[in-house]
Structure 1
Amino acid sequence: MEARELHPEVAGLFARGRRRSVRVAIEQEYVVAAADGGVVPIEEVRRAVAGAAAAPYVSFEPGGQLELSLQPSREPVHDLRVLTADLERRLGGITVQAIPVDPRPDVPLQLTSPRYLAMQRHFDRIGPAGRRMMRRTASTQICLDWWPGQAGIEQWRVLNLAGPFLAARFNRSDRLATWLEVDPARTAFDDRLLHGDPVASYTAFAAGATVFVDGPAGHLSTLFPPVRPRGTYLEVRFLDALPPEDVERAIAVLQNLMYDDVRRRDVLRRLPAGLWSAAAAGELDQEVAA
């Protein structure tokens, strides 16, 4: 897709907020399993959680992973605990686990819309990591208010630079290694998003990725960078699915990097780019960006 088609849409993704708010929201993915460890059809899970307090926030990933996409809150981890407990009561013998990689080797593709079928065909041309990512991985995604002005540019850069160190600190699996193998042209687990103007860099990134859905907005939704621009907030995507106590610690570290001007600028001065492979291999000092 041509950069000129993508640029207006990308500019909207980098619009940023108009005030210095500090709200946090959590998107938590869970691996779902039957009592005997088998795969549970998505429709069975939908029926089980219908009417639950968490139901409006439930969606699904291609392999049937359940996602809770919560609203911004003053106590996001408390909300996560309460709504997860509500889900567990409704599901009975069906379990939801905050684990980063489903141990079952044969998880079918449950979402078979043209989008996901096209995505799978694309990834299959590269290797097996795409199917594993789509069907068997789960993450904790943390969304943070994005500030206007120079502070907002710094926030974008610091999350991308600190990401490898934070992944090394919090992640507990080889999920990150899977993501690095999926399709570098659409995951950007390198320093390609940190060269020059952020809008121009992201537009070039999007223009370089193979297109398999129609329209600029649709195409941009098939990109999976470690930090995703979302207009007024930034979505941190590089963390494994974490238990609540680790989610709480990760939020504290991310807020410190995002909203403490002195800390943010100190980290920006010290951290190099392009260390995702080292993070996946366990070769980074986990405390550097803590």
Structure 2
Amino acid sequence: MSIPQQGGGPIERFEQLAEYIASGEKPAADWRIGTEHEKFGFDTKTLRPLPYAGETSIEALLQGLRTRFGWEPLFEQEHLIGLTRNGANVSLEPGGQFELSGAPMATLHETRAELDTHLAEVAEIAGPMGAAFMGLGAAPVWREAEMPMMPKGRYRLMTAYMDRVGTMGKTMMYRTSTVQVNLDFGSEADMVKKMRVALALQPVATALFANSPFLDGKPNGFRSWRSNVWSHLDDARTGMLPFLFEDGAGYERYVDYVLDVPMYFVYRDGHYIDALGQSFRDFLKGELPALPGEKPTLSDWADHMTTVFPEARVKKYIEMRGADCGDRDHLVALPALWTGLMYDTGALDVAWDLVKGWTDATREGLRRAAAKSALQGEAEGVRLLDLSRQVVAIAREGLARRGLGEESCLDVLEPALATGAVAADRLLALYNGEWGGDLSRIYTACRF
């Protein structure tokens, strides 16, 4: 989840909403790779989730990183809720999932180095206090009542709202973790093409990185429970954005979509003001019930844009949101996959040719098949294993043409492409075999 945004001053013209997105346009030479990943922390003695405060806690970890490694603190009221350093941020998801939002990097080698530094720093602080972290897409054992709530006003408001609009909103907030990559675009047409490919092929990422087959201490019937959760969260702000495949798609159409999504909050003077279910269109007119007579700033618009959760999202860059968190090599492979597809013109063209004939039903069908069956899924005659082999080959060629030796970052995906078995399948095999149904062994197997 995002920290409060710094979008700018008063909105005086409606066109500023689209201009805000357009301000992210960059020439190809300036395109960068920003990787974000969340991970579950736990007490190594009790195997319980880390609370916010205490001797073995999220707060103690943040303080340790701040003191030892020069991170600058981010506070909400009196609570330390994040860190920043050299363009990167450490932040907290609602249930204490510990997130690194990496700095924009020029190469995947830099992305890998940043990740390794982060994991080493976290381990140096967490180890002595008896804490550790694991890479999974969903908390495998902990029930909802066991999950702590981080002291952020945004999360209190969202928690109260989730049961009104879906059935799995709180599960998403407190018991799922993801890895995503943020990539740049050069123009409105480039944004549209990249978003179309990103949305259509997000099920490939879901399938390849599926890593959440357990919930409440037992198999849940899905390879990516995290992805399934997003299908039952809030239809107004999730999904595959069919409108982006229609004629006329662009910045203005995306703005209309975001304006139609009900608000969560307005951030003022360090406080989150309840605007649950209210309309940003009313806000633009000075008629928001939460702040009568007040009109929004571009910072408010930037905040509101972070409360839509489609499978790929536009801000001043594009976010790929379809993958479960995994181990260290998979955390690098995810940005490698999308960088290879998006940052080479030839690869992007080939990927678009692969998917441009699909219908909304095909894209949605693949999304649901990937969550249920990973690489064994299919929809409308498209088999995810076959599709994934094609897509990874395209990405590999795109990376090779960058001439930086980055294509090796995709090697970790080859066993899955050869056998059709992803991380979730391997965990289920261990659970049903060597582990004898003892899921406590997953804390060691998936530990960073």
User: TM-score higher than 0.5 here?
Assistant: yes
Structure 2 Cα separation of the partners of residues 5 and 122 of structure 1: 31
Measured at CA, do residues 52 and 147 of structure 1 come closer, stay the same or move farther in structure 2, by a change above 3 Å? farther
Whichever residue aligns with residue 28 of structure 1, its letter is H
Whichever residue aligns with residue 63 of structure 2, its letter is R
Measured at CA, do residues 66 and 54 of structure 1 come closer, stay the same or move farther in structure 2, by a change above 3 Å? farther
Structure 1 Cα separation of the partners of residues 170 and 13 of structure 2: 30
Counterpart selection for 1:118 from 128, 136, 157: 157
Match of 2:64 in 1: 48
SS at match of 2:322: coil
Q: Deviations over 1:154-186 (max 9, x none)?
A: 222211221122222222221100011111211
Measured at CA, do residues 277 and 54 of structure 1 come closer, stay the same or move farther in structure 2, by a change above 3 Å? farther
Matched, 1:249 2:288: no
Moved more, 71-80 or 103-112: 103-112
Match of 2:258 in 1: 206
SS at match of 1:247: helix
Matched, 1:27 2:111: no
Q: Deviations over 1:86-145 (max 9, x none)?
A: 111111211122211112113435234442222112211134411110011111121223
Offset of residue 258 of structure 1? 0.4
TM-score (norm 1): 0.88
Aligned length, in residue pairs: 286
Measured at CA, do residues 125 and 41 of structure 1 come closer, stay the same or move farther in structure 2, by a change above 3 Å? same
Q: Report matched runs for 1:56-75 at 5 Å.
A: 56=84, 57-73=89-105, 74=107, 75=110
SS at match of 2:256: helix
Measured at CA, do residues 247 and 152 of structure 1 come closer, stay the same or move farther in structure 2, by a change above 3 Å? same
Match of 1:38 in 2: 48
SS at match of 1:156: helix
Structure 2 Cα separation of the partners of residues 145 and 219 of structure 1: 20
Moved more, 162-171 or 84-93: 162-171
What is the percentage of aligned positions where both structures have the same residue?
Answer: 24
Structure 2 Cα separation of the partners of residues 218 and 6 of structure 1: 17
Structure 2 Cα separation of the partners of residues 129 and 250 of structure 1: 25
Whichever residue aligns with residue 38 of structure 1, its letter is R
Structure 1 Cα separation of the partners of residues 169 and 100 of structure 2: 22
Matched, 1:81 2:116: yes
Asked whether the 8 Å contact 2:166–2:234 carries over to 1, the reply is: no
Listed as ranges, the gaps of 5+ residues in structure 2 are 1-11, 53-58, 72-83, 213-224, 267-299, 379-383, 393-448
Match of 1:239 in 2: 323
Measured at CA, do residues 91 and 226 of structure 1 come closer, stay the same or move farther in structure 2, by a change above 3 Å? same
Q: Report matched runs for 1:124-163 at 5 Å.
A: 124-148=163-187, 150-163=189-202
Structure 1 Cα separation of the partners of residues 70 and 314 of structure 2: 26
Structure showing the higher strand proportion among its residues: 2
Asked whether the 8 Å contact 2:51–2:148 carries over to 1, the reply is: no
Measured at CA, do residues 153 and 260 of structure 1 come closer, stay the same or move farther in structure 2, by a change above 3 Å? same
Asked whether the 8 Å contact 2:180–2:322 carries over to 1, the reply is: yes
Matched, 1:177 2:228: yes
Asked whether the 8 Å contact 2:180–2:334 carries over to 1, the reply is: no
Match of 2:4 in 1: none
Asked whether the 8 Å contact 2:189–2:250 carries over to 1, the reply is: no
TM-score (norm 2): 0.59
Measured at CA, do residues 44 and 5 of structure 1 come closer, stay the same or move farther in structure 2, by a change above 3 Å? farther
Asked whether the 8 Å contact 1:52–1:87 carries over to 2, the reply is: no
Q: Deviations over 1:217-254 (max 9, x none)?
A: 332221112222231x3221211112221233222221
Listed as ranges, the gaps of 5+ residues in structure 1 are none
Structure 2 Cα separation of the partners of residues 40 and 142 of structure 1: 26
Structure 1 Cα separation of the partners of residues 137 and 15 of structure 2: 34
Offset of residue 17 of structure 1? 2.5
Structure 2 Cα separation of the partners of residues 143 and 66 of structure 1: 18
Measured at CA, do residues 180 and 11 of structure 1 come closer, stay the same or move farther in structure 2, by a change above 3 Å? farther
Asked whether the 8 Å contact 1:54–1:68 carries over to 2, the reply is: no
Asked whether the 8 Å contact 1:54–1:83 carries over to 2, the reply is: no
SS at match of 2:252: helix
Report the RMSD for the aligned CA atoms in angstroms.
2.4
Structure 2 Cα separation of the partners of residues 124 and 97 of structure 1: 28
Asked whether the 8 Å contact 2:188–2:251 carries over to 1, the reply is: no
Asked whether the 8 Å contact 1:63–1:107 carries over to 2, the reply is: no
Structure 2 Cα separation of the partners of residues 132 and 121 of structure 1: 13
